[in-house]
């Protein structure tokens, strides 16, 4: 036991105490670690008070099956054995024991004479460094000498730009959503801007706006209710998700890519302002700023659309360096697109799309050639002209059949 104690002292200053680790817990999140936010880490122009925040980082139920149980357990020690060695619950915590287990052990110590079989059969896993947590199944890569606080701080300070093909956090609950972006962030749901072609990201949002607050509460613009004493209390730390409880003009969101605090990670962009959510609390505008993480680049999973976006410089914030690599040749559209070119960014409605002839597709400053076909879902356009041809599982008509012969180009602005 002495060897165990000496080994554990190595990790005493870098303990990893998880909680919500039992399978009978009814929490959506499990296997959580706590991070204490120190406001002094961030170089803001205004820090009126020293705020304290504790943030949970957890696994979701859907990820639990992917957590590998490793054989890193040296020995399992029962609560009775721990008690016989005069081990305290505080000492267990210093050994990176889960908080749930330390709490149950404390209950066991205080009720030894009347303890249930449940507590008698519980045990502590003596693990091999650097493993920790229940069944010794967790570890960090190359940071065994750092605390969890240091790990989170390093991660946020060194976040690189999002590159094409990288996995990013997405809101996955809109099963019917199709969008020109690679995916939607949760901040783009119910933000009064339609991002899905079928508008599903704005369905039922009116129910939020009908919410009423109590007399001692402040009603945020989005219908959320917060205690009245939080209204106009600290400008750098709004409590409404949409930040409407504090005055505008605070410039901290521009630094949110390095800040894990509630004011960034749990906030949306202000309503009524043409801003793009960067996925980390920062809100970019077309004229003032771009996302530090590069999320405002219109990267899609469609190489053809990426090639066209690069050629027409569709957004000012588009990653020109990436485009120079991806689409350095003038004929890159012919390389990445099929003979019938479907430019997903130019969809008019969920089911209406324009098909271009690749060999005749031309791009000039602020204009592109007309499409050859206009395709649509025939079931949704019963009173429309019958289809001339069927392409890509859609009903289509030649563009000139729509009576728009005088048009010869599409104009676009960015």
- Per-residue model confidence as pLDDT tens digits over 216-228: 999 998 899 999 9
Query: 160: pLDDT confidence band, cut at 50, 70 and 90?
Result: confident
| pLDDT higher than threshold 60 for residue 411 | no
pLDDT score recorded for residue 118? 60
Query: 275: pLDDT confidence band, cut at 50, 70 and 90?
Result: confident
Two tokens, residue 257? 């890519």
| pLDDT higher than threshold 70 for residue 109 | yes
CA distance 152 to 35: 8
Residue ranges of E strands in 268-388: 275-277, 283-285, 340-342, 353-357, 363-364, 367-369, 373-376
pLDDT score recorded for residue 214? 95
230-264 pLDDT per residue, tens: 999 877 788 998 888 988 655 555 677 778 888 88
| pLDDT higher than threshold 60 for residue 199 | yes
pLDDT score recorded for residue 313? 67
In contact, 282 and 256? CB cutoff 8 Å = yes
| Residue 182 Ramachandran class (φ > 0 left, ψ -120 to 50 alpha, else beta) | alpha
pLDDT score recorded for residue 216? 97
In contact, 164 and 306? CB cutoff 8 Å = yes
| Residue 288 Ramachandran class (φ > 0 left, ψ -120 to 50 alpha, else beta) | alpha
Position with higher pLDDT, 329 vs 310: 310
| pLDDT higher than threshold 50 for residue 2 | no
Query: 397: pLDDT confidence band, cut at 50, 70 and 90?
Result: confident
Highest mean pLDDT out of 27-36, 217-226, 312-321: 217-226
Position with higher pLDDT, 344 vs 178: 178
What's the average model confidence in pLDDT over 300-309?
73
Mean pLDDT of the chain: 75
Window from 141-145, 183-187, 309-313 with minimum mean pLDDT: 141-145
pLDDT score recorded for residue 317? 45
CA distance 228 to 51: 19
Position with higher pLDDT, 1 vs 363: 363
Helix H, strand E, coil C: the string for 110-136 is HCHHHCCHHHHCCEEEEECCCCECHHH
CA distance 284 to 304: 26
Give, for 42, the enclosing helix (H) or strand (E): none
In contact, 297 and 270? CB cutoff 8 Å = no
pLDDT score recorded for residue 286? 60
66-81 pLDDT per residue, tens: 555 555 556 788 888 8
Residue 318, C-beta contacts closer than 8 angstroms, at least 6 positions apart: 297, 298, 309, 310
pLDDT score recorded for residue 15? 81
Ordered by start, the domain boundaries in the chain are 2-157, 186-285, 303-411
pLDDT score recorded for residue 145? 73
In contact, 78 and 119? CB cutoff 8 Å = no
What's the average model confidence in pLDDT over 101-120?
76
CA distance 173 to 194: 16
């Amino acid at each position: 036991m002495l060897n165990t104690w000496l080994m554990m002292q190595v990790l005493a200053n870098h303990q990893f105490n998880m909680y919500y680790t039992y399978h009978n817990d009814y929490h959506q999140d499990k296997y959580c670690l706590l991070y204490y936010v120190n406001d002094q880490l961030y170089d803001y122009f205004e820090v009126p008070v020293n705020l304290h925040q504790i943030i949970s980082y957890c696994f979701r139920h859907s990820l639990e099956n992917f957590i590998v149980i490793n054989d890193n357990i040296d020995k399992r020690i029962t609560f009775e054995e721990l008690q016989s060695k005069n081990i305290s619950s505080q000492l267990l915590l210093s050994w990176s024991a889960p908080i749930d287990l330390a709490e149950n052990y404390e209950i066991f110590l205080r009720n030894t004479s009347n303890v249930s079989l449940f507590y008698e059969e519980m045990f502590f896993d003596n693990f091999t460094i650097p493993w920790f947590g229940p069944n010794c199944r967790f570890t960090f890569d190359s940071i065994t000498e750092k605390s969890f606080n240091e790990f989170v701080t390093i991660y946020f300070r060194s976040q690189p730009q999002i590159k094409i093909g990288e996995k990013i956090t997405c809101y996955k609950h809109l099963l019917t959503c199709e969008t020109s972006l690679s995916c939607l962030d949760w901040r783009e749901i119910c933000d009064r801007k339609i991002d899905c072609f079928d508008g599903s990201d704005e369905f039922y949002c009116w129910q939020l706006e009908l919410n009423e607050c109590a007399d001692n509460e402040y009603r945020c613009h989005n219908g959320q209710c917060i205690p009245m004493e939080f209204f106009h209390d600290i400008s750098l730390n709004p409590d409404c998700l949409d930040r409407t409880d504090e005055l505008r003009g605070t410039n901290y969101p521009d630094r949110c890519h390095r800040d894990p605090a509630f004011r960034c990670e749990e906030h949306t962009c202000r309503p009524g302002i043409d801003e793009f959510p960067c996925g980390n609390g920062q809100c970019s505008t077309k004229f003032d700023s771009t996302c530090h993480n590069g999320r405002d680049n219109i990267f899609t999973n469609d190489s053809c659309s990426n090639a066209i976006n690069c050629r027409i410089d569709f957004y000012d914030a588009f990653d020109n360096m990436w485009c120079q690599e991806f689409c350095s040749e003038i004929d890159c559209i012919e390389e990445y697109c099929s003979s019938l070119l479907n430019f997903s960014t130019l969809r008019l409605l969920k089911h209406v799309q324009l098909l271009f002839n690749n060999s005749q597709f031309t791009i000039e400053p602020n204009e592109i050639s007309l499409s050859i076909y206009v395709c649509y879902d025939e079931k949704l356009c019963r009173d429309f002209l019958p289809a001339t041809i069927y392409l890509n599982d859609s009903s289509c008509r030649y563009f000139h059949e729509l009576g728009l012969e005088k048009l010869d180009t599409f104009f676009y602005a960015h």
